[in-house]
Amino acid sequence: MERTVTVVPEAGLHARPASKFVQAANEFDAVVTIAPADDGESVNAGSMLAVTGLNVEHGDVVRLVAEGEDAEKALDALEGVLSSPEDDDR
């Protein structure tokens, strides 16, 4: 399964949004990768170092690919993280 998502958090996939993204990716029985939609190399969505190394910024479009029993649930959760603004009160 594959999904393309625009990154909404102002910090992009750095700091807290990246941490939430990686944590969500590791909650499901699925192998998930993330890559810049235009040309990037896919990396493991469950690796903080790999995700932050993509240098994804606010407004960038990324491609999520998931395989496994929970693939659709994982994509739904990860899309939720990427398409929600950062909330400092959480």
Q: Which positions are catalytic?
A: 14
- Amino acid symbol at 13: L
Rounded CA-CA distance 43/33 in Å is 5
- Which positions ≥6 away from 70 have C-beta within 8 Å? 28, 29, 30
Contact 50, 41 (CB under 8 A): no
Alpha helices (runs of H) in the chain, residue ranges in sequence order: 15-25, 48-53, 71-82
